[in-house]
Amino acid sequence: MLRHLHVPLTKPEDVIPHLAKGKAHWKSEFSAKELAVAWSRVKNDFPVTVKSLLRTCPEFRDAELIDGFFEREVDLGTAGRNSQTDLMVVVGIGERLGIIAVEGKVDEPFGDRVSEWNDGSVEKNERLKVLCSTLGLSPGDVGEIRYQLLHRTASAVYEAKRYRCDQALMLVHTFSPTNRWYSDFAAFADAMGMSLLNSGTISSTKICDGVNIRLAWVKDSFAALV
């Protein structure tokens, strides 16, 4: 598969063939459709809520949307499936580039906890070791953390390195009226040693593999009307 060549998105529905379950995942009030509509309805810019969030962080305050790739697969460097980020955004930060890895959510959890995902196989132990090394974590301390949060954040780091930039943000863009699963996200931020005041703010910075990574959570209203 040629992973570095992309077809332009002309309408939100162009995302459907790239979804894990195709049209089965394309429903209003579900994250795939909500995220695609929210980011597609503004021309070459960020959704209003995301733009307001970015303005709270000096490094991303004047960020410019350069490119965005829905369902971006990132090689994690170990045996097993790639991490498939809902939306990988390349931004301009002055004369430099930065990466925003966007994870869309409504009611979907962040997958299994690491202790549930890790069956003790050589492959999974090796992947966990590599992810934790990238993020500055100990494999023995992340059993209660949601596995998806580990590899999505590591993906942001790896993409930043691939683009030769040192600024990255892993952003959860939720459409849940109740901020469902925020507690799992906050637990991950705490495990990372990153100060996160509350939803709607950007965390403190952690240097991971030479990349300044931040975490953020932004809440939005449903975007897909039909």
For residues 44 and 65, is the Cβ–Cβ distance under 8 A? yes
Delimit the domains of the chain by residue range: 19-219
Read off the pTM: 0.88
For residues 206 and 136, is the Cβ–Cβ distance under 8 A? yes
Residue showing tokens 């999505």: 152
Residue-wise pLDDT for 51-82, tens only, equals 999 999 999 999 999 998 888 999 999 999 99
CA 91 to chain centre: 14
Q: Which stretches within the chain are classed as H helix?
A: 31-40, 48-54, 114-117, 122-135, 147-162, 182-191
CA 126 to chain centre: 22
- Rg over alpha carbons for the chain, rounded to the nearest Å, is 16
Q: Token pair of 143, please?
A: 């059993």
Per-residue pLDDT of the chain (226 residues), as tens digits, is 445 545 555 666 666 666 655 565 565 556 778 888 888 888 789 999 999 999 999 999 999 999 988 889 999 999 999 999 999 999 999 999 999 999 999 988 999 999 999 999 999 999 999 999 999 999 999 999 999 999 999 999 999 999 999 999 999 999 999 999 999 999 999 999 998 877 788 999 999 999 999 999 999 988 755 4
Phi, psi (deg, nearest 5) at residue 165:
-125, 165
The closest alpha carbon to 217, from 226, 225, 187, belongs to 187
- Tell me the longest C-alpha to C-alpha distance in the chain: 46
The closest alpha carbon to 201, from 184, 178, 182, belongs to 182
Element (H, E) at 102: strand 96-105
Classify residue 121 by its DSSP letter: -
For residues 110 and 146, is the Cβ–Cβ distance under 8 A? yes
pLDDT of residue 199: 77
Q: Which residues of 82-107 are buried (b: 16+ CB within 10 A; e: fewer)?
A: ebbbbbbbbbebeeebbbbbbbbbbe
Q: Token pair of 79, please?
A: 């045996």
Q: Looking at this protein, which amino acid is placed at residue 147?
A: Y
